[in-house]
Amino acid sequence: MSRTMSLERRTALTGIGFVTPTILIIALILIYPIIQSVVLSFGQSSIDGSQPYQFVGLKHYAALMGDGRFWNALGVTFTFTALSIPLELGLGIGLALLMNESFKGKGLARLAVLFPWALPTALNTLIWRWMYNSDYGLFNGIALQSGLVDRPINFLGDEILAMGSMVVVAVWKTSSFMALIILAGLQSIPRDLFEAGRMDGMSKWQEFTQITLPLLKGPILVALIIRSMDALRTFELPFNLTDGGPVNATESLSLYAYKVIFDFLDFNFGAAVVVVQFLVIFAMSLIYVFALQNKD
Amino acid sequence: MKFALYGAVAMATAMTAFAPAVAAAQELVLSIGSRGYGGMVERNIEAFEAANPDTSVEWLKVSDVPGDSRKLYVTGLTAKSPTPDVFAIDVIWAGEFAQRGWLEPLNDYLGEETIAAYNPSFLSAATVEDKVFAAPLYVDGTHLFYRSDLLEKYGIAVPKTWEEVISASKIVMEGEGNPQLYGFVSMWAKIEGLFMNWLSFINGNGASFFDADGNVAVNSPEAIAATQTMVDMLYEDRIVPDSILTMRPDDARTLFQQGRAVFLMVQDFVHAPLSAEDSPVAGKFDFTRNPYFEGHEDAHSTAMGGWLLAVNANSEHKEEAAKLVEYFTSYAAQLAAAIDENRAPGRTDVYAAPEMTEAALIQKFGEDYAVGVVRPSAITGSLYPRVSEVMQTEVTNALHRQKTVEEALNDAAAEVNSILGK
């Protein structure tokens, strides 16, 4: 008896030994900054050291509530997420179904689909910024020469067009990521389910809605959560495409936090923005998990 | 608790960036952009080391993008790093850095005579509470570039006022009949450059950011009228393309270089690409000081930007560091930079040098800087980035016609006052 205990204990200790460094590293690089951000957001201090940390409670959160620019950034972030995620999901499912079929040049097609995802966002965005340019950009060149418009369209200079332009870049880039996750799910569906369906006289559409989609729920959930989290903290895209403009029509929460922290050097207020953003993302993920699980 | 502010990442960045310097504490570390000051950096370092054999200088090359190098500096300075000992700062950082106690005052090191030689407008941006915190390295302000060939073709004199710019634009645009040709382009995207641009406009109409009593005056009648002119150039006179609202300096430069604009108002660095051999407008353009409004001939309307050299307040070699600043900003070094690198000197006496009579371009830049206006960064100090952001936002609101000019500037005044705690 005592021998088994000691073996179990030894196994447990070895296990703990293996896990400890990982936990320590995670604590250091992940948990510590989160706690620090929360601590910072409840206090007032000055980065040059002239003013020591002082607890001020909810002062920065109260200021946030009355800060029009914060609400604007929150609205921009939600709008961007609400517009881009459904488009990405629809396109992602379509692409995945296409890539799941066998046809000539399938490898090449997969490569082409993955290409936008493989390029760094910053680079993507720069390319798009040129294409959108109203004086020497590709789209205006085509539109003007074909006589579709007689004045250049100011894609990034108009509030609504700028948001639309940003969504297009996001959908173009990340639909393939959705497709990839969904394709993996598709390939794990046993072939014989479809054969059985065919024997029962199911149409292609019935096959899709009654077999494919229900079995894809897991991968779709994963893709949705990952992409929504990305969209809710989107930074490089507006930073490089519009710098939050025109006026603040494309200023996301991350971009606002970045400006508060690195341009205004107001770490405390910036921390409050980041904490709120963290809570929003957390809540969003919970909603997804519950919404998709309850239907089982 | 203070440590908390820096965060693990910031510390890591700072340590990587400054590590080589820490290891060799005996030498000075000079931090300056890798392209900004051209070939002058290495030349000056060699000459300085030859004259001061017991001091060696390591050049820490930083980004030429001001925002990037600012982040690097702020990280290091926050952590009270003693290096870099000397660093190049954008003119708008001087007030903020000085107020945060990051810069060593230079008055005792440089002497009155040297300080008196600096361009007074430019120096005012580095002066906080009568102390000089940085020395001018070179000036890079905005000018009005124009197509001399087109003005000549239509018999138009080089415009001095905004009224003349607008009428000249209309004549040329109509005469050329080219829908791809615009009258005036500049950087009106929501960037720091927009604030510079706007200051040029309002100062040209006799307004200024602060009035004589030190009150925020951004919504004075003169400022409103000048801003209205910007809006009208866009929507009424139609001499400015819609795309100006997303233009940064290089976007505007490209359009002008393609021969698609009569006037261009940006910083002097565009002169080199515009006059390059393969430039379509080479030999067809010239520049003059920024325009003013009728009746304001004396207005200072050339918005000044540029770089200064400062000494880190935590440097362990302040004496030597100040010497290095003195050397880089000396008469001889600024003269060489002007002749060989086309850098407009921050010392006014350099323009009178006999060698400078040949350097017509720099002479002309210098004439414009004599009527220069700097951004209110010295007075607003650490609050400058927020003030600038408010002004960029509100001017953009006016330019987009989201608000009337008066509403936008009234809001701007209220916000600036609340930021400054007035």
pLDDT digits (tens, 9 = 90+) for A118-138: 888 888 899 999 999 888 889
**Partners of residue B312 on adjacent β-strands:** B103
Distance CA B4, CA A40 (A): 8
For position A197, what pLDDT does the model report? 83
ipTM of the complex model: 0.78
Are B268 and B334 part of one and the same domain? no
Q: What are phi and psi of B175, to 5 degrees?
A: -65, -40
Are B135 and B153 part of one and the same domain? no
Nearest CA in chain B to A33: B7
B364: domain CATH number is 3.40.190.10
8 Å CB contact of B7 and A248 = no
Are B250 and B326 part of one and the same domain? no
8 Å CB contact of A154 and B260 = no
For position B19, what pLDDT does the model report? 46
Are B289 and B206 part of one and the same domain? yes
8 Å CB contact of A243 and B385 = no
Q: How confident is the model at residue B53 (pLDDT cuts 50, 70, 90)?
A: confident
Mean pLDDT of B73-97: 91
Are B408 and B299 part of one and the same domain? yes
Nearest CA in chain B to A242: B246
pLDDT digits (tens, 9 = 90+) for B216-273: 999 999 999 999 999 999 999 999 999 999 899 999 999 999 999 999 999 988 998 9
Domain boundaries, position B281: 141-303+377-420
Are B265 and B410 part of one and the same domain? yes
Are B328 and B397 part of one and the same domain? no
**B369, B393, B409: which is the final residue of a domain?**
B369
Q: Are B277 and B63 in contact (CB under 8 A)?
A: no
Are B85 and B169 part of one and the same domain? no
Nearest CA in chain B to A150: B179
Are B393 and B344 part of one and the same domain? no
Are B123 and B219 part of one and the same domain? no
Question: Chain A within 8 Å of B35 (Cβ-Cβ)?
Answer: no
Mean pLDDT of B76-105: 91
Q: Which residues of chain A have pLDDT under 70?
A: 1-5, 293-296
Q: Considering the entire predicted model, what is its pTM?
A: 0.84
List chain B residues with CB under 8 Å of A245.
189-190, 246, 396
Q: Taking CB atoms and an 8 Å cut-off, how many pairs form between chains A and B?
A: 98
Longest dimension (CA), chain A: 89
Distance CA B373, CA B347 (A): 16
Are B166 and B217 part of one and the same domain? yes
Residue B221: in which H helix or E strand, if any?
Answer: helix B221-235
Number of domains chain B is built from: 2
- Three-point CA angle A248, A251, A255, nearest 5°: 135
Q: Which residue has the higher pLDDT, B34 or A179?
A: A179
Report the b/e string of B111-123 with b at 16+ CB within 10 A: eeebeebbbebbb
8 Å CB contact of A246 and B389 = no
Closest CA to A166 of A251, A71, A284: A251
Q: How confident is the model at residue B115 (pLDDT cuts 50, 70, 90)?
A: very high
> Any residues with CB less than 8 A from the CB of A262 and at least 6 apart, and which?
B71, B74
Are B254 and B318 part of one and the same domain? no
Closest CA to B325 of B20, B31, B4, B21: B31
